Structure 1
Amino acid sequence: MADRFRITLGQLNPTVGDLAGNAALAARTWAEGKAANADLVALPEMFITGYNAQDLVMKRAFQLDVMTHIDQLAKDCADGPALAIGAPWAEGTELFNAYLILKNGRIANRTLKHNLPNETVFDEVRIFDSGPLGGPYAVGNTRVGSPICEDAWHPEVSETLAETGAEFLLVPNGSPYYRGKLDTRMNMMVARVVETGLPLIYLNMVGGQDDQVFDGASFALNPGGRLAMQMPAFDEKVHHVDLERGPEGWRVVQQPFASLPDAWEQDYRVMVQGLRDYMAKTGFRQVLLGLSGGIDSAIVATIAVDALGAENVRCVMLPSEYTSQSSLDDAEAVAKALGCRYDYVPIREGRQAITNTLAPLFEGRDADLTEENIQSRLRGLLLMAMSNKFGEMLLTTGNKSEVAVGYATIYGDMAGGYNPIKDLYKTRVFETCRWRNENHRDWMMGPAGAVIPDNIITKPPSAELREDQKDSDSLPDYPELDAILDILVDQDGSVADCVAAGFERDVAKKVEHLIYISEYKRFQSAPGPRLTKGAFWLDRRYPIVNRWRDPS
């Protein structure tokens, strides 16, 4: 038997639905593995379709197209190493999340996912059938076990593979990011290694898909849970891993470790990567946004420039009579620091025309929130007109605190195609701005240095829709609001939990009420990258019509 086994790992970025493109990427990776004398070339879970393809994989025409591409890929990769690739696989009336082993021009083995995740962003129970507990597959004289993603989060699949002769574990994943996920994954995989006594190679994909960003960070563990290999987070990379067989079995050959980013960098990279891939995979090249002089639009502009380059970002100031000189100066300073285009489009005349048009209907009624929202909706109209005219996707700029309590105008500042900070609370917006001013990485396309003026970070937040308006006129101060939202949204806690944490019951009840009555706005809001397990969209699914309130 061979004393050395080489696996070429493809930590890559597939595109959902691009079967031909994903197959071509697989074939190129296989060719690299062949040139490196690999025994096996491995790709992540559901690689041929991209992940998470949701209900698309239930479409029969799509399933047949997948099979056609897999069959051709097997033929194209016949003369060389085995190729392991994730795919949906139909057998009779059943549909499985499968890991296919292609050898000698055909499908030589199929591993079928047993544990189907049915929480947070995953809904696999309604899409796939559960495969049986199975054994390893052979590559040459070596037996490999592949628990597919969720299967490695439960002990029985890995234990069954070990008991039926697997000599090491190769775990293909489509595992999206949330804050703290790197540590959670590592702890889970160490547990599998300790239980089975087998080396384990964890292979994850990278790239953005709608609200999810896959963060890579693939790694290998030797028995005892000792880290033997660490790939970088977020970066596409083809990497060769060797195993050597000794008296005690296979062991992963030790390699230098890639360094992993801290929590602040991880979040920022997710927001940049999420926007970059959303643009690339939907076919857009350029964006625009309303730059108000406030902190939210400033960080969104910075993310956009870091993701796409300054030449592809248009910032638009749309001032009214309530826009302060400070905001005008700050907005222009941000655009200048970032090096992107800056347009000045006053809304005063347009607002007056709308006011005059509505005057006969509104006669005898005092001005109120209606007039404030007209400003926001006029800005949305003008930005969407520019989006249509120039072919630039409009970015929205509402932070998670505002999204949670509905502190935004539907069809106004909520208009747009993508929101890079949708899952970032206001208090973290402040700290993220400070982090970006102090840090620069080679994956950022924007300039280094303090691109967000300190005045934007330190001044009181305001929508500037009326004289002397501040966010705190309508909401608790953001540190208090965000702490309550963390309990009610991210921790799925109760009003009683808020009170126990030291907050006034009346304040917690008000925040809870605002969350529930804003559901219809979130239902119509733009997608944005998921940073937490409490992100709005697939993580948290509530009815729009809901009269229940926490009685505690």
Structure 2
Amino acid sequence: MPNIALAAGVLNQIPLDWKGNQARIISIIQEAQQNQVAILCLPELCLTGYGCEDQFLATYTSEKAWESLIQLLPHTQHILVWVGLPVFFEGKLYNVAACLANGKLISLIPKQYLANDGVHYETRWFNPWPAHQRSVLSTSLGEIPMGDYRILADGISIGIEICQDAWEGENRPAHSLAQRGVSVICSPTASHFAFAKSKTRQRLAIEGSQIIQGSYVFANVLGNESGRTIFDGDAYVVHQGQICAETQRFSFKDSQLIVASVEINCQTQVADDLIVANVQWPLSNQTYPHFEAAPWEGTVNIKEEEFARAVSLGLWDYVRKSYSYGWVISLSGGADSSAIATLCYLAIRLAYKELGWEGIQSKMAYIPWIMDVSTEKDFIARMLTTAYQGTENSSDQTRTSAKALAECIGTTHYDWNIDVLVKEYRGIIEKAIGRSLTWEQDDITLQNVQARLRSPSVWMLANINNALLLATSNRSEASVGYATMDGDTSGSISPIAGIDKTFIRQWLIWMEKIGLDGKLSMPGLSHVNSLEPSAELRPLTSKQVDEEDLMPYPILNAIERWAFYDKLSPENCLKNLIQEYGANFSEDQLTAFCSRFFRLWARNQWKRERYAPGFHVDEYSLDPKSWLRFPILSAGLEKDIKP
């Protein structure tokens, strides 16, 4: 029973970045070789990037991936490496893990089960490979075995489960591989972030090792790879049910490698599904660091920690991968824009902590002024610009809130008034229609003109700075259309469109009082946390409050989840509402809330279609591009509520 070093490598790749993706793969292979690693597992589709979307259907994509694969071969001396790519076989496209060892392509093992729910549309591009089916692919390298194979290397039998394969319960390939005598399973994965989802992946890795009574090597994608989804970058080496090594999630580095030395049982069943890889790796004689999860993983505030770290990494990757010079936010002093400004600040702080100033300069080398900045404080001021755009309906409290947060963070902050613009536009329309606009008759019109007139100015700042304008609407608002198109929805990306208002408010309080790791808190949030959420678009004497315009946010969020995650009928949503909130509200009130929700939901699908791309962070999303499709025109759902 030899001791060998097993390794999992996570990679922050970019779709269709042939040179960059290949360079990062070669770098992590070399790091593994320096650590005397025998078997290295890399993430699913890491040669192309997982998020290539319909570009997978272009044969050009798989051809370029194949070229990159061949160029990797000279870098695989004395190591066995699993690399993911798309491969056409007999006119069909497959998601494949390629086994490379000692400079040769040993085998291609396709994915058997495809993810096709939520943000996943794999069956649009790929075909599932039938279990136990085996064939060969004719290539310039010769006849390459392709199918449900095992690899025999230096007496050790190795099998594969690709991402969704491991989620299939009794049907997962691990059970068949256990019967065929494998000692190691490698699991190349691209499993997106959602709250608490990493615990499921960890459990599946542990169960996989228990099924084969051997070792399980799991490697996930890292970072905001292609725009909407964020990947944890979690990886595990598990031996007989015990985690030997794991990554610290949400790293700002290009890659992470974890290594563990394990004692492998070499008993192998010889059969026609066994492909021999002639590689002799060094026996492990190193003592490896103790790769363990970060301390915050064990805190009671894990959801708050995950949200902060996932969205911060998502913002950081988005700005650098789009070659932008920073972010611009219309900072209203309210919860949503304050949360986004805080997340941008955390992105810089976390990147600086992990990469150091030289690392940041290297990643941001495309920015013309990057070498002129020498401190974290100056970098924040250059990267993050905020603007408070007041009207006669804005309160002193929100102006103070915006200023306090901007000073706490250190943004470049502006404060101006747009009343002159509002009056000018109002005058133009009044003259055109021949009457005065009034709040009694034109409430929505007069509210929306203020929100929309905030957009051009911040777009100008974004253009001047070559920066990303960030939209500030949340998921609760999106569900009922409580947002102004071309106003607070203006932006390149919408960072909090995937999370509800209730959690945003809770998270801001946590950030003020506790903060990341119980250390990185934000006292500048005290002002916004004392305010009642308000759009501040009506005259101050009206005392406009969001929840009075709509309904209490916890009720709104509950209906949304029941309807579109649990997929309950409107009638059953109302029954649940009465059961859960009947002690605090009358049945008539709850019926009115439910009716209002479904009426506004159906009426405002067109708004959700126009939202800037948002980050997926929760179990579900309202994004019609990636999660929840609903007809733009419909008879609606309100009619299905029976009083």
Name the TM-score, length of structure 2 as normaliser.
0.80
Aligned pair partner of 2:316 in 268, 276, 283: 276
| Higher deviation after alignment, 330-339 or 46-55 | 46-55
CA contact (8 A) 2:48 2:61 kept: no
Partner of 1:449: 521
Corresponding residue of 2:231:
214
Map of 1:25 onto structure 2:
24
Residue number in structure 1 paired with 2:559: 484
- Contact 1:300/1:397 (<8 A) preserved: yes
Match of 2:94 in 1: 96
Q: How far does the alpha carbon of each residue in 1:304-326 deviate from its partner, in whole angstroms, 9 at most, with x for none?
A: 11114622100001111111111
Write the mapping of 1:319-330 to structure 2, written as runs, cut at 5 A. 319-330=390-401
1:412 to 487, 508, 513: 487
**8 Å contact 2:156–2:265 — kept in the other structure?**
no
The residue number in structure 1 matching 2:62 is 63
**What is the aligned counterpart of 2:153 among 127, 139, 162?**
139
**Residue by residue, what CA displacement relative to the aligned partner does 1:270-294 show, whole Å, maximum 9, x if unpaired?**
1111111111111112110101111
In 2, the alpha carbon distance for the partners of 1:20 and 1:54 equals 19
Q: Which residue of 1 aligns with 2:380?
A: 310
- AA aligned to 1:140 is D
- Which of 498, 508, 511 does residue 597 from structure 2 map onto? 511
Tell me whether 1:527 sits opposite 2:618 in the alignment. Answer: no
Distance 2:69 2:630 in 1: 39
State yes or no: 1:295 paired with 2:365.
Answer: no
Structure 1 residue 135 displacement after superposition = 2.7
- Aligned residue in 2 for 1:152: 166
How has the CA–CA distance of structure 1 residues 277 and 152 changed in structure 2, closer, same or farther, with 3 Å as cutoff?
A: same
Q: Which residue of 2 aligns with 1:543?
A: 631
C-alpha separation in 2, matches of 1:314 and 1:40: 46
RMSD (Å), alpha carbons: 2.5
Q: For residue 4 of structure 2, what is the amino acid of its counterpart?
A: F
Does the C-alpha gap of structure 1 residues 545 and 152 become closer, same or farther in structure 2, counting only changes over 3 Å?
A: same
Matched, 1:355 2:426: yes
Q: Structure 2: which amino acid aligns with 1:272?
A: S
For residues 433 and 494 of structure 1, the distance between their equivalents in structure 2, rounded to whole angstroms, comes to 33
1:168 aligns with 2:184: yes
Q: Which moved more, 1:325-334 or 1:359-368?
A: 359-368
CA contact (8 A) 1:6 1:40 kept: yes
Tell me if the contact between 1:207 and 1:234 (Cα under 8 Å) persists in the aligned partners.
yes
CA distance in 1, matches of 2:204, 2:636: 37
SS at match of 1:345: strand
8 A contact 1:298–1:452 mirrored in 2: no
How far the C-alpha of 1:449 sits from its partner, in A, is 3.4
Aligned to 2:203: 187
- Separation (CA, whole Å) in 2 of partners of 1:384 and 1:378: 11
For 2:39 and 2:291, locate their aligned partners in 1 and report how far apart those are by CA, in whole Å: 21
Cα drift, residue 163 of structure 1:
2.4
Q: What does residue range 29-48 of structure 1 map to in structure 2 within 5 Å?
A: 29-48=28-47
Distance 2:36 2:242 in 1: 26
Q: Is the 8 A contact 1:5 1:243 kept in 2?
A: yes
Partners of 2:446 and 2:434 in 1: how far apart?
Answer: 13
Match for residue 194 of structure 2? 178
Q: Are 2:79 and 1:81 aligned?
A: yes
CA contact (8 A) 2:62 2:85 kept: no
Aligned partner of residue 306 in structure 2, secondary structure: helix
Helix, strand or coil: the match of 2:454? helix
* Matched residue type, 1:325: D
The offset of 1:255, in angstroms, is 5.1
Q: Is the 8 A contact 1:423 1:535 kept in 2?
A: yes
| Partner AA of 2:380 in structure 1 | A
Taking the aligned partners of 1:201 and 1:174, their CA distance within structure 2 comes to 14
Q: Match for 1:258: what amino acid?
A: A
Aligned to 2:352: none
Contact 2:481 / 2:600 at 8 angstroms: preserved in 1?
Answer: yes
Q: Which amino acid aligns with 2:24?
A: L
Larger displacement relative to structure 2 (157-166 or 269-278): 157-166
Between stretches 421-430 and 100-109, larger displacement belongs to: 100-109
- How far apart, in 2, do the equivalents of 1:68 and 1:410 lie? 45
Q: How far is the alpha carbon of 1:500 from its aligned partner?
A: 2.7
Counterpart code for 1:376: A
CA apart distance, 1:254: 11
Unaligned runs of 5+ in 1: none
1:248/1:509 CA distance change after superposition, 3 Å: farther
Matched position secondary structure for 1:432: helix
Question: How far off its partner does 1:97 sit?
Answer: 0.4
Confirm whether residue 458 of structure 1 aligns to residue 530 of structure 2. yes
SS at match of 2:417: coil
Contact 1:83–1:101 (8 Å) recurs in 2: yes
**Could you tell me whether the CA contact under 8 Å between 1:136 and 1:145 is conserved in 2?**
yes
Aligned mate of 1:233, from 235, 244, 249: 249
Instruction: List per-residue Cα deviations over 1:207-251 (Å, max 9, x = no partner).
Output: 11312111122223333x3333332222242111222135999xx
> 1:202 corresponds to which letter in structure 2?
F
- The answer to whether the Cα contact below 8 Å between 1:49 and 1:87 also exists between their aligned partners in 2 is yes
Structure 1 contact 498–505 (Cα < 8 Å) conserved: no
Q: Return the alpha-carbon distance in structure 1 between the equivalents of residues 104 and 245 of structure 2.
A: 31
User: Could you list the runs of 5+ residues in structure 2 that have no partner in the other structure?
Assistant: 132-147, 269-287, 349-378, 579-589
**Contact 1:135/1:164 (8 A) holds in 2:** no
Matched position secondary structure for 1:502 = helix
| 2:19 maps to amino acid | A
Describe the shift of the 1:228–1:129 C-alpha distance in structure 2 as closer, same or farther (beyond 3 A): same
Determine if the alignment matches structure 1 residue 421 to structure 2 residue 496.
yes
Is the Cα contact below 8 Å between 2:156 and 2:267 reproduced in 1? no
Match of 1:4 in 2: 3
Query: For 1:521, what is the secondary structure of its paired residue?
Result: helix
- Following superposition, the deviation at residue 394 of structure 1 comes to 0.3
CA deviation vs aligned residue, 1:68-118 (integer Å, no higher than 9, x gap): 11111123x143312211111122311110001122333211110010111
Call closer, same or farther: CA 1:294–1:78 in 2, change over 3 Å. closer
2:405 matches 1:334: yes
- CA displacement at 1:411 relative to structure 2: 1.2
Distance 1:248 1:138 in 2: 11
Aligned length in residues: 546
Contact 2:483 2:489 in 1 (8 A): yes
Aligned CA distance change for structure 1 residues 455 and 389 (closer, same or farther; 3 Å): closer
